[in-house]
Amino acid sequence: MTALLNVNQMTHYFGGLRAVHNYNLSINPKQITGLIGPNGAGKTTIFNLITGVYTPTEGAITLSGENIKGLETNEIASKGLGRTFQNLALWRHMNVLDHIKMAHYSQLSYGLLGAFFNTPACRRQESEVEENAYRLLELFDIKQYAFDIITSLPYGAQRRVEMARAMATNPKILFLDEPTAGMTPDELIQMIKIIRQVHQDFNVAIFLIEHRMKFVMELCEFIQTLVFGEVIAEGEPEEIQNNPEVIEAYLGKEDLT
């Protein structure tokens, strides 16, 4: 089976700082993979390298067998790579419905002239997008906020908007950067449920960064542990949990739950 996403020997320097070193990753369709590691290990940087925010100094990245290294972020996104951000990155003057509609950008074909003159093609596509947006709102349980400005929503709901928005780009693989950061235990349980549901309903692969072990162990089939930009251990949840290096480098310092 060919991997959906493949990263080969990726290395990246920020000036003199080596943030990521000889990183390899292979994710199959529908697989859920976790990336753990202490703060500053380079986890978010790996996300940014794969999604094209930065171009890696060395290495190769392919999505469905196609090279995506060096492409613009929006091109990579429209090839099927959706993501959320560690610190919410929402559009502060926009309502929730428009957030979801906006993420359909690459699926529109009516063009600027269509928008200027509100052509039938424009109206048809916009109403299709709206329909799909409402479906997502319902699925993520945020329909009641459709016309609210994003900043007025509770934190947990904002997180769900971000996920719904990522799903609106119609991704084959979804990157989640600490999806439960700052959440209450209730919201956390809801988030696990939502991720499971997304995984089933949309047939996506998921790659997630997470701090809370319980969350990672419960969801992921495969886990990588990153320390100082290098993977020190990878494998199935049980292996990672029992790996002495991991316990020393990471788990030992933190509460395991």
135 closest CA partner among 82, 198, 78: 198
Query: Of the candidates 1, 16, 39, 186, which one interacts with ligand ADP according to CB under 6 A?
Result: 39
Using the minimum distance from each CB to other proteins, give the nearer residue, 85 or 134. Answer: 85
Determine if 148 is a binding residue for other proteins (CB under 8 A): no
Determine if 192 is a binding residue for other proteins (CB under 8 A): no
Using the minimum distance from each CB to ligand ADP, give the nearer residue, 19 or 81. Answer: 19
Using the minimum distance from each CB to other proteins, give the nearer residue, 22 or 55. Answer: 55
> How many whole angstroms separate alpha carbon 100 and alpha carbon 244?
43
42 binds, among other proteins, Mg ion, ligand ADP, none (CB under 5 to 8 A by kind): ligand ADP
Determine if 72 is a binding residue for other proteins (CB under 8 A): yes
Determine if 44 is a binding residue for ligand ADP (CB under 6 A): yes
List the interface residues with other proteins, window 73-92 (CB under 8 A): 73-74, 77-78, 82-83, 85, 89-92
Query: Of the candidates 62, 86, 119, 190, which one interacts with Mg ion according to CB under 5 A?
Result: 86
Under the rule (CB under 8 A), what is the footprint of other proteins? Answer: 51-53, 72-74, 77-78, 82-83, 85, 89-94, 98, 101-106, 108, 110, 112, 114-118, 122, 126, 129, 165-166, 168-169
Under the rule (CB under 6 A), what is the footprint of ligand ADP? Answer: 14, 17, 19, 37, 39-45
